[in-house]
Chains A and B, each alone.
Chain A
Amino acid sequence: MNRFAFLLDRLSYEPRRNAKVRLMADYFRETPDPERGWALAALTGALAFRHAKAGLIRGLITDRADPTLFAMSYDYVGDLAETVALMWPGETRANRAPPLSEIVEGLTSTAKIDLPKRLAQWLDALDETGRWALLKLITGSLRIGASARLAKTAVAALGEDIKPDDVELVWPGLEPPYDALFAWVEGRAERPNAEDPAPFRPPMLAHPLEDANFRAFDPSEFAAEWKWDGIRVQASAGRDAEGRHVARLWSRSGEDVSGAFPDLLDKLTFDGAIDGELLILREGRVQTFNVLQQRLNRKAVTPKLTAEFPAHIRAYDLLFDGDEDLRELPFTERRARLEAFVAREANPRVDLSPLVAFDDWDGLAAARLDPASAGAGADAAAVEGLMVKRRDSPYVVGRPKGLWFKWKHDPMTVDAVLMYAQRGHGRRSSFYSDFTFGVWTEDAEGPRLTPVGKAYFGFTDEELVELDRFVRKNTTNRFGPVREVTHTEAIGLVLEIAFEGIAKSARHKSGVAMRFPRVARIRWDKPPHEADRLESLERLIEEREAAGA
């Protein structure tokens, strides 16, 4: 465990990608099986322990430390595993530190009732870095800035002429502790035979299109389509070696989200891979992200939920048609194949995202400002802008320059007053970085602020330092981790908040809910009484409803 903890510790402070790969490769080279295999499983997120959860860790520490002091420490550090590792009482015993394989085996096989005692024994035997690594392993998020992809890159580096993609291809058929994989990359065995019939293929991403820079392009070389406000997904399906049909739904980052959409998965009966947007459709009408969010918020996926919020895929692109890889083809040819594919399948849950016709850039700009009149019709409220793609663009992994662009709607903005602040987590722990802001409204007692949302990004690191200082110097009240900040008509801080959407909400006291709010600017210059009023937000909602109808 100490060797693995040392690796995690080094990785967590190493900013350079290549150095991270080298650290991991060195570790794999010098560490025997099965230790290194369990480490690889931990680094790729392949380990999950049924009984060992965050709650178990909380229980252990509150048995050994004052719960109030633990709560204050956790609030300060912002990471459960680290808090407990640092405040675990007692001196480290100089006896034997348990190896990683023993811990993994123990976490898997120990009965739930015996687990607290077992875990406490390990924590007693480890130093603080070891405790941190062990607890990170249990909470399941290492957050050391090394992705699964990077770990596979390090494995590939052990061999000769083995590329990270080669490791990726055999990966789905492998199980921890990956003896067969290491044997292959080290040239001691044949390549493991495992092909996933429904694999994830890294998606192609777009650059933001700035107003100024596209007029130089020739509009006839580009196609445009709506950018739907849902979840970008990849629906991948095919037959395995035994002839069984396998379908999977992947998120943009390669997370398998099939489990959340059983209603849709059942309908993915085709062979191929579609790049599209996951949307909720009711009677053929695309619902706003707000509606999709309501489905995503539920933990249990019940038949009632799937009936009420039916998931669909609106297809943008076709990566595979059966076994045929289309990614090298130009966009126009892939588009033709996609149209034929969608027509042939006639799948009620999969439809085509229409192209937006335009003659020149002014015409496209007009379509962006008024999607309802440019073909989106009743679905306009679910459009968040345009995608502009070179007609000759192949499907390239990552974010290649000059091929695809996203041209989003301009965000809406509101001037609001900072009311409460809370410390952030992770990278921002100990900084007051979660800001609740409000706008003015009036009641019998006169003007008062009503909270309308929370923003925790949009500012630079330097601005965060200043915001944090403002909060600390203007605290009027404390409620646990939350500080109330001066917000009178004369004294307070105005934040310009940008957001992507706004809707009525019964869950919020103010009656409005914003989508994606963030701090666009800090208005050090503006007195609080000049901030916006609730009525102007309500008017925005009415305008949007009128536009979407």
Chain B
Amino acid sequence: MRPEDLLVPTPQGLYCPPADCHIDPMRPVARALVTHGHADHARPGNDAVMATPETLAIMAARYGEAFCATRQPAPYGVKTTINDVTVSFHPAGHVLGAAQILFEWKGFRAVVSGDYKRQGDPTAAPFEVVPCDLFVTEATFGLPVFRHPDAADEVAKLINSVALFPERAHLVGAYSLGKAQRLMKLLRLRGWDRPIHLHGAMVRVTETYRDLGIDLGETVQVKAADRKELAGAIVLCPPSALRELWARKFPDPVTVAASGWMRVRARARQKGVELPLVVSDHADWDDLRQTILDTGAEEIWVTHGEEDALVHWCGTSGLKARPLRLVGYGDEGETDEPAGEGEGNDRAQARA
């Protein structure tokens, strides 16, 4: 058999013909398997959704309880049979509930990894190596210039800066789902015991994390009237909020951003960032390569990101690799997430 008999790229996303289901579909489908809760992977409107219980809870919090007709929870490691395909979800380490999906069919094993990281994260189950024949990987940071430092040290830079500028508010741009909660937890582990202030757009998902058992300490939603009082405070907000009028009412704000992109100076400067923190929920170049080798896969498909470089490296390492050029993923990583909920790219897409 060929890998293409089990998985095929389609305009809706990856499709599994023998199980008749899509993985992280871009448009509504009858049956969707969802790797994690980020908006570019988990969209509302599908009939049936299978995902980890955590991802289902996050989707419900983001889109409302009616985000799909039927839900099928898939706890890590539990095998389910769909037609003659055995499907199981395994930790991806990306955000709370994030999973790689293993498909077993006629003795062939394929893993669709979604987004993943190998770095430690106190808010997500650690990545598990799942041996397979075909490994479908992301490549968000698929260039040798991306090597993520220890996230705890980056968070220490933030705490040091607050100590240096106690008269200024520190506004930290971070993705609402995952990155923000990871930062909160890392701040707590570094001994930051004062309240952490949150932009309104991240309150609900933070509550969902709490409901799912992640202790994040005291958080306070920023009220318009309080902004002037927040000298010396750490305020988390979606990256796009840094450029909005909202951000200017704080006392002499320091613009901070936590992202893997902050490794590249021009990226930080384009966004007017004064204190860049290299904190990423994606695998860096070294971890992408290590993971590919760890799975033992002979064939590698690259979904999105800097796929050309990773495919090139696979070739030089004797691995068969192809880019899928799936359009629609990575928006949450590559461009800014909108301050509100939902998709920020509708306008541009309609125009294009």
Contact = CB atoms under 8 A, between A and B. Distances in A.
B39 interface: no
B266 A79 contact: yes
A391 B270 CA distance: 42
B144 A14 contact: no
A257 interface: no
A76 interface: yes
Nearest to B309: A72
A215 interface: no
Contacts of B327: 473
A470 B345 CA distance: 11
B251 to A, nearest CB: 15
A410 B315 CA distance: 54
A512 B313 CA distance: 42
Which of B143, B309, B349 has the most C-beta atoms of chain A within 10 angstroms of its own C-beta?
A: B143
Contacts of B348: 466, 469-470
B267 interface: yes
Which of B276, B327, B351 has the most C-beta atoms of chain A within 10 angstroms of its own C-beta?
A: B351
Nearest to A474: B352
Contacts of B266: 77-79, 82, 426-430
A466 B352 CA distance: 9
A15 B252 CA distance: 13
Nearest to A486: B352
B352 A69 contact: no
B175 to A, nearest CB: 17
B351 A466 contact: yes
A86 B263 contact: yes
A66 B313 contact: yes
A465 B239 CA distance: 15
Given A86-B263, A430-B264, A69 B147 contact: no
Given A13-B268, A13-B269, A13-B274, A76 B145 contact: yes
A141 B9 CA distance: 45
A83 B144 CA distance: 9
A524 B351 contact: yes
A306 interface: no
A73 interface: yes
B147 A86 contact: yes
Interface in B321-352: 327, 335, 345, 348-349, 351-352
A460 to B, nearest CB: 13
Contacts of B263: 86
A73 B144 contact: yes
A23 interface: no
Given A65-B144, A69-B143, A72-B143, A473 B352 contact: yes
A79 B268 CA distance: 14
B101 to A, nearest CB: 26
A169 interface: no
Interface in B260-316: 263-270, 272-276, 306, 308-309, 312-313, 316
Interface residues of A, number: 35
Contacts of A493: 352
Interface string A462-475: 00011001100110
Contacts of B264: 76-77, 82, 86, 429-430
A548 B275 CA distance: 54
A431 B334 CA distance: 11
A87 interface: yes
A70 B285 CA distance: 13
Nearest to B264: A77
Interface string B17-49: 000000000000000000000000000000000
Interface in A409-455: 426-431
Contact of A87 (B144, B316, B345): B144
B2 to A, nearest CB: 26
A426 to B, nearest CB: 6
A66 B311 CA distance: 13
A110 interface: no
Contact of A69 (B144, B268, B273): B144
Contacts of A428: 266, 270
Contacts of A429: 264, 266-267
B146 to A, nearest CB: 8
Nearest to B350: A524
Contacts of A430: 264, 266-267
A12 interface: yes
A473 B306 CA distance: 15
A427 B271 CA distance: 10
Contacts of B147: 86
A13 B276 CA distance: 9
Interface in A5-29: 12-15
Contacts of A14: 274
A469 B335 contact: yes
A59 B266 CA distance: 24
A95 interface: no
A92 to B, nearest CB: 11
Contacts of B349: 473
Given A13-B273, A15-B272, A428-B266, A83 B145 contact: yes
Contacts of A12: 265, 269
Contacts of A70: 144
A10 to B, nearest CB: 9
A390 B259 CA distance: 52
A77 B273 CA distance: 17
Contacts of A83: 145
A297 interface: no
B274 A465 contact: no
Contacts of A13: 268-269, 273-276
Given A13-B275, A469-B348, A427 B145 contact: no
A65 B144 CA distance: 9
B265 to A, nearest CB: 6
A76 B266 CA distance: 10
B143 to A, nearest CB: 5
Report, nearest first, the 9 A-B pairs whose CB atoms are least far apart. A86-B145, A429-B266, A87-B144, A524-B351, A72-B309, A73-B145, A73-B143, A87-B145, A470-B352
Interface of B: 143-147, 263-270, 272-276, 306, 308-309, 312-313, 316, 327, 335, 345, 348-349, 351-352
29 contacts: A12-B269, A13-B268, A13-B269, A13-B273, A13-B275, A66-B312, A73-B145, A76-B145, A77-B264, A77-B266, A82-B264, A82-B266, A86-B146, A86-B147, A86-B264, A426-B266, A427-B269, A429-B264, A429-B267, A430-B266, A461-B270, A469-B348, A469-B352, A470-B348, A473-B349, A473-B352, A474-B352, A478-B308, A524-B351
Given A13-B275, A15-B272, A73-B145, 6 more contacts: A12-B269, A13-B274, A72-B309, A86-B264, A87-B145, A493-B352
